Amino acid sequence: MQSSDPDPNADTQSSSSSPEYPSEGYSWYFVTVLMIFYVVSFLDRQLIGLLIAPIKEDLDLSDTQIGMLLGFAFAFLYAILGFPLGRLADRVNRKYIIGIGMFFWSIMTAGTALARSFFSIFLFRMGVGVGEASLSPAAYSMITDTFPPDKLGRAFSVYSAGIYFGAGFSLLVGGQVIVWVSNMDPVSLPLMGELRPWQTVFLIVGIIGMFPLVLLATIKEPKRHGVKVHDSGKPKQASVGEVAAYIGKNWKTFFFHHMGFAALAFSSYGVGNWGVEFMRRVHGWDVPFISRVFALHVIVCGVAGIFIGGYLMDYLSKKGYTDSAIRVGLLASILWIPTGIFYPIVANPWLAWSLMAVSFFFVAFPIGAAAAAVQKIVPNDMRGQASALYLFTANLIGLGIGPVAVGLLTDRVFHDEMKLGYSMLIVGVGAHILAIVSFSLGMKPFRESVAYLKKYNENH
């Protein structure tokens, strides 16, 4: 990071207006609504993990192709479209962005019922990713305009808890729908023809996902804080070049932050998306039973981890640690390893499940901190675009490559479906070692970037 202070911009004012934050009760309701949308997005995103066996059988797919469907098919456009949608979130009403995206991803989930080949299901998974790309850049920006800085860790933890509520509900709802449709006669619908049970599951869950859209009518677009204005009084929007220049001056911070949290995402998605299939394939549990048992540890351990991590970040911030988000990431990376090493290879299924549950706690621990950290080092008019860059990196590396890496190791290295646990072990431990190195090197640059932002805001 360069040591020189940024030059002031002559045609802007440093503070247009700094609107007060909403009441505490409304603020927590607001972030809870956003969390519900995140739950729905993860319900649609994670559902395919319950249906690996029937999809693989019906479409004659390899583990590598399944890994593509679990990750890359969804993540590719999800990651890329985060940039224009993040820029849009810095400019227009963010409620509309979320509403349109939510409707589209639900349609694409339901449309997966029409898939008859690897290529067609791949396209529908891409469509789900397109819709869901609208949510987090807009939500991150809205949350930052709704909560004061000393509550951002907890606020982002509430929103990010949607990951684990969503994953848990996808297990419960998906598992129950699987039981229900498996006892039904084949469904035949006009224009769609006869649907296999797994196709019917996608249709039902996609339709269910549209109902929470009504909650958008209960929240307001928050007023933007710290927005620079021209002499005319109109908000100044940061150009792509300005955002790139700002990131360039803080490149070490962004590099180590993104690399560390992307490594954790690589492990989380790579290992987590294969968890249900691992317990079915290696330990012989049936999917409806796995869905109930996994829902317990995903919701309880995941949500507990994410909230405790958020509280720890806020606590460290109040104690004066401006790099609190990076410290939380480092601690979680270290504590994951003892359980992450053993659960994929132990012989007892209940011991494997117990160790997996503990590892989920540490997977969830830094997620709120990861999102909040970006908001602490960029100006308001760059938050959407900076968040999109973080989401691009984390999702392309984590979600896009992680599940495929596990499938490739199983297919091409071990050549044995029953060695799935070893593939999960290699991906998980390797990623966490990379995260530990990244966070250790990233604490000092992050502190410097926090100080740089303060000077930047004073001079602009």
* Residue-wise pLDDT tens digits, 400-440: 899 999 999 999 999 999 999 999 999 999 999 999 999 99
- Other CB atoms within 10 A of residue 191 CB: 5
Residue among 355, 286, 366 nearest 327 (CA): 366
CATH architecture of 20-226+237-459: Up-down Bundle (1.20)
Contact 42, 170 (CB under 8 A): yes
- Kindly give, in sequence order, each residue whose CB lies less than 8 Å from that of residue 353, ignoring residues fewer than 6 positions away: 279, 293, 297, 343
CA dist., res. 259 & res. 76, Å (int): 18
pLDDT score of 373 more than 80: yes
Contacts of 228 (CB under 8 A, 6+ apart): 9, 12, 13, 14, 16, 235, 236, 379, 380, 381, 460
Residue where the block lists tokens 């449709």? 181
pLDDT of residue 4: 38
- Looking at residue 423, what is its pLDDT? 96
List the alpha helices (DSSP H) in 183-286: 197-208, 240-249, 251-272, 275-281
pLDDT at 450: 94
CB burial of 226-258 (b: ≥16 within 10 Å; e: otherwise) equals bbbbeeeeeebebeeebbeebbebbebbbbbbb
| 79-117 CB burial, b ≥16 within 10 A, e <16 | bbbbbebbbbbbeeebbebbbebbebbbbbbbbbbbbee
Q: How far apart are CA 277 and CA 423, in angstroms?
A: 13
Q: Is 1 helix (H, G, I), strand (E, B) or coil?
A: coil
Half-sphere exposure in the Cβ direction for 284 (13 Å, CA): 3
Amino acid identity, position 442: G
Half-sphere exposure for 104 (CA within 13 Å, toward CB): 18
> Residue 227: pLDDT band by 50, 70, 90 thresholds?
low
User: Phi and psi at residue 93, in whole multiples of 5°?
Assistant: -60, 115
The pTM (predicted TM-score) of the whole model is 0.77
Q: What's the pLDDT score for residue 355?
A: 95
Closest CA to 78 of 397, 432, 402: 397
Looking at residue 410, what DSSP letter applies?
Answer: I
> What is the token pair recorded at 267?
């492990």
pLDDT in tens, 77-103: 888 888 888 888 878 899 999 999 999
Q: What is the mean pLDDT of residues 270-278?
A: 90
Burial grade of 75 (CB within 10 A; 0-12, 13-18, 19 or more): buried
Confidence band (pLDDT; 50, 70, 90) for 7?
Answer: very low
Q: Which helix (H) or strand (E) holds 380?
A: none
Give the tens place of pLDDT for each residue, 169-188: 888 887 887 788 777 777 78
CA distance 390 to 262: 8
Has residue 281 got a pLDDT over 50? yes
Q: Distance between CA atoms of 225 and 144, rounded to whole angstroms?
A: 8
pLDDT at 13 over 50: no
Distance CA 44, CA 111 (A): 12
